[in-house]
Amino acid sequence: MKKLKLLVINGPNLNMLGVREPDIYGSKTYADLCEYVRGAGRELGAECELFQSNHEGELVTKIQEALGVFDGIVINPAAYTHTSVAILDALKAVALPAVEVHLSKVSDREAFRQVSYAGLACLRTVAGLGFEGYREAVRILAEALR
């Protein structure tokens, strides 16, 4: 069976995991998340490349560069979830299967967090499972791609 190549994109402030609002996001770091995602990928037959940026344009460019290189995308657009038509358009342009993931249960949070532009271009959204949400997103993509 062919090993899947997945791009895992993380948006602004995820580099601050372990420091930023630990009551919402937990005490584990971004490095812990990267290690967790790579391990989950291996278990599910996927190679996961991770990318994080606080800059919208860099996220858009990385999505565009995924075309012809990756089989699918796991994306946590973070705050750009609720504001970025550019990320939505990039996901639609490359037309790779994508799953949106959020560490927190955004549906239980502020009203402005209830809109997800990126989610409009994704197969599913996984939210509120912490790091485990990334494993679930990889599983969903692997199942959809096989």
The rounded distance, in Å, linking the Cα atoms of 60 and 20 is: 24
- Which domains can be identified in the chain, with CATH numbers? 4-145 (3.40.50.9100)
Q: How does residue 1 score in pLDDT terms, banded at 50, 70 and 90? A: low
Asked whether the whole model's pTM tops 0.85, one would answer: yes
- What is the identity of the amino acid at 108? D
Q: Is the confidence at residue 108, as pLDDT, over 90?
A: no
What's the farthest any 2 CA atoms get from each other in the chain? 44
The rounded distance, in Å, linking the Cα atoms of 101 and 66 is: 18
The rounded distance, in Å, linking the Cα atoms of 21 and 135 is: 22
Average pLDDT, the chain: 92
Count the Cβ atoms, other than its own, within 10 Å of residue 142: 17
Helices (H), the chain: 22-25, 30-43, 56-65, 85-94, 132-145
pLDDT digits (tens, 9 = 90+) for 38-70: 999 999 999 999 999 999 999 999 999 999 999
pLDDT digits (tens, 9 = 90+) for 9-26: 999 999 999 888 777 777
Q: Which residues are catalytic?
A: 25, 102
